[in-house]
Amino acid sequence: VDGQPDDPALRSQLWGLDFPNPVGLAAGFDKQADAVGALLAMGFGFVEVGGVAPRPQPGNPKPRMFRLEEDAAVINCFGLNSEGHPAVAARLSDWRASRPAELGPVGANIAKNSDSDDAEADFAAGVRSLGPKRDFIVLNVSCPNVSWSSALAKQAGGVEKLVRAVKSVRDDMEWPNRPAPPPLLLKIGPDMDDAAKKETARMAVACGVDGIVCTNTTSTRPTHLKNPSQKERGGLSGAPVKAMALQTVRDMYTLTEGKIPLVGTGGIASGKDAYERIKAGASLVQVYTALAYNGPGLVREIKRDLKELLAADGFDSVAAAVGADNQKEK
């Protein structure tokens, strides 16, 4: 447990939410919302649970997760195993009822059931079921471990149609006891070419999404991987995806002209990595694989080093450093 209050320089506000620090836990770690309180107590500034599908589904057959220790990486092919909306919503509701005010936001990453033919209905159900229990919602349309995600990406205008439909559902709902509807974020993958990035940025701005999570795991395999498990199918995370994820943040910040807050994730394992992602344009960052390798103390280390790096460059807040590299290039 990290009992130390976060330095004021690490605090920020986005979408009307207060983040005690910008270091969050990415989706995929606490899929069923079993450990939200314990994870926030470790010092995370926010936690994203899920992905969560409407109905329970087992995901892909085991083994479906592989540690590539020599590469500081993980390959997972979980296939969005989920206990479903009712179970996760109940846990989130219990957490919300007893949540200490000083802890950071909790978001829900939502997806569709693999055997469903109606993505719009499944994602809309996620907004209805989990939105009232959570601070923000992430649309997971980039998971490399389910066939429907790639199929959706190949449909001309498929993702935009889905985003507009889900956003309409959110906007038409009443949200009692909160000043505004929960922000709607879009999670994108690192494998897009320049044309796809441009189209994604255009769509995000046109649809009015509130944020973009950059990025999911990659289905590619860099040639420098050493561990034999590199041959396993699934999404690769950790150090090998770092450069791709960083470039995606840079590109999306430029393409959206900094109009949409970005959450940087993928290969972040130090305060230096987090700071690099922030200067590239991310307002928040997330870790996953590095936590599995380095343990809970990593969170405190990232925050400590990030505070020092901000001060060394004369920034009095995280927000002041967001996109700083982009400003230099201009």
Q: What are the pLDDT digits (tens) for 220-237?
A: 999 999 999 999 999 999
Whole-prediction pTM value? 0.97
Of 154, 135, 174, 142, the closest CA to residue 19 belongs to: 135
What pLDDT is recorded for position 153? 83
3-class secondary structure, 209: coil
- Residue 226 backbone dihedrals phi, psi, to 5 degrees: -105, -35
Using CA atoms, how far apart are residues 282 and 284, in angstroms rounded to an integer?
A: 5
Average pLDDT for the chain: 96
Q: What's the DSSP call for residue 60?
A: S
Q: What's the DSSP call for residue 215?
A: -
Of 20, 83, 73, 19, the closest CA to residue 52 belongs to: 83
Pairing mode of beta strands 106-110, 262-265: unpaired
Per-residue pLDDT of 57-68, as tens digits, reads 999 999 999 999
Per-residue pLDDT of 114-169, as tens digits, reads 999 999 999 999 999 999 999 999 999 999 989 899 888 888 899 999 999 999 99
- Helical H runs in 131-223? 147-154, 158-172, 194-207
The residue assigned the tokens 């996620």 is 126
Using CA atoms, how far apart are residues 35 and 101, in angstroms rounded to an integer?
A: 17
| CB-based contact 74:295 (threshold 8 Å) | no
Q: Could you give the angle at the alpha carbon of 130 between the alpha carbons of 126 and 133, nearest 5°?
A: 165
Using CA atoms, how far apart are residues 202 and 186, in angstroms rounded to an integer?
A: 13
What pLDDT is recorded for position 330? 58
Using CA atoms, how far apart are residues 22 and 284, in angstroms rounded to an integer?
A: 5
What pLDDT is recorded for position 252? 98
What pLDDT is recorded for position 308? 98
Low-confidence ranges of the chain (pLDDT < 50): none
